[in-house]
Amino acid sequence: MMLMCKLDSILFQVALNAHKVVN
């Protein structure tokens, strides 16, 4: 469960960074 939460958090941050780069 904790692992999934960490993975989700990392994916969320990566998506945010990608969004910033695109804009």
Output the six-digit token pair for 6.
């960490």
Residue 22 pLDDT > 70, yes or no? yes
Question: Side chain identity at 9, as an amino acid letter?
Answer: S
pTM of this structure? 0.52
Output the six-digit token pair for 19.
């969004």
Output the six-digit token pair for 12.
């969320």
Question: Which pLDDT tens digit goes with each residue over 10-19?
Answer: 999 999 999 8
Q: How confident is the model at residue 5 (pLDDT cuts 50, 70, 90)?
A: confident
